[in-house]
Chains A and B, each alone.
Chain A
Amino acid sequence: AQSVTQLDSQVPVFEEAPVELRCNYSSSVSVYLFWYVQYPNQGLQLLLKYLSGSTLVESINGFEAEFNKSQTSFHLRKPSVHISDTAEYFCAVSWNDYKLSFGAGTTVTVRA
C-alpha cells in the first residue's frame, strides 16, 4: 500500500532559527507532492507543490522543499522561522489520480 511518512510529530524551534520537516513516501512512480499548513481550528492551505521540472520549489513566505526521487523524499525547510509559522504541517502525495494521501502531520512550535 502507498504511504506517506512524516518522521517528526513535534518540532520545537526558536524564532529566527532554521527548521526542516521531513517527509518520505513509499513509491516514486509518477508522484505529485504537496505541503499544506493548518492553523488551529482551521482548514488546510497549500504551502507549495511539486509537479515536474526543477526539484526545488519555493513558497511566497520563505519555505522551500526539494524533491529527491532516489530517496523518495520531499523535505520542507525554512532558513529563519517567525512566531507566525507556528502551525501543523502536512505532507501529501498524489499517485497520479484524484486521491491525496496525507502524512500524520508535524506540529511546529516557534518560541521567542
Chain B
Amino acid sequence: DGGITQSPKYLFRKEGQNVTLSCEQNLNHDAMYWYRQDPGQGLRLIYYSQIVNDFQKGDIAEGYSVSREKKESFPLTVTSAQKNPTAFYLCASSIGTFNGGTDTQYFGPGTRLTVL
C-alpha cells in the first residue's frame, strides 16, 4: 500500500528535551511538508522540501529543524527552543510538479506531541 507513515502516534516530552518525529512516504513524491495543527487555528506550515537535500522555512519554523537526506524521509526535530510545542503534527507529500500550487497534498495520520 502506498502512503505516508508517521511515528510515533503519541509522544511525550519533558521540557528542555529535543524530540524527533518521523515521516516516511513510499509514493515516490518529490515534495514533503510539515504542519502544526492547534485547535481553532487550522494548519500552519513549519518547513517544506521540494527536493532531496533542500528545504525551506514555512510560516512558523522557529524552534524546529528538518533534514531531507532521502527522498522518502523528512524527519522533524522539535527543539527545546520551541516555546509551546504541544500540538498535533502532520506530515504531507505531493508529487512536486513544476507548478507546485496545483498538486494535491497527501497527509499522514499525525503525531500528537505533549510536553509534560
Residues of A at under 8 Å CB distance from B?
4, 6, 9, 32, 34, 36, 41-46, 49, 51, 90, 94-100, 102-105
Contact = CB atoms under 8 A, between A and B. Distances in A.
B102 A32 contact: yes
B26 interface: no
Given A99-B45, A104-B41, A44 B104 contact: no
B77 to A, nearest CB: 20
Contacts of B40: 9, 104-105
Contacts of B50: 98
Which 4 A-B pairs have CB atoms at the shortest separation, nearest pair first? A43-B107, A98-B100, A94-B101, A102-B42
A42 B110 contact: yes
Interface residues of B, number: 28
B110 A41 contact: yes
Interface string B1-35: 00010000000000000000000000000010001
Contact of B90 (A32, A44, A51): A44
Given A98-B48, A99-B45, 7 more contacts: A36-B107, A43-B90, A94-B101, A97-B101, A98-B31, A102-B44, A104-B41
B79 interface: no
A44 B107 contact: yes
Nearest to B97: A98
A51 B112 CA distance: 32
Contacts of B45: 99-100
Contact of A90 (B42, B48, B92): B42
Given A41-B110, A43-B109, A44-B90, A96 B42 contact: no
A94 B102 contact: yes
Contacts of B35: 102
**Interface core residue of B58, B105, B106 (most chain A CB under 10 Å):** B105
Contact of B110 (A36, A43, A105): A43
Contacts of B108: 43
**Interface core residue of B58, B90, B107 (most chain A CB under 10 Å):** B107
B43 A42 contact: no
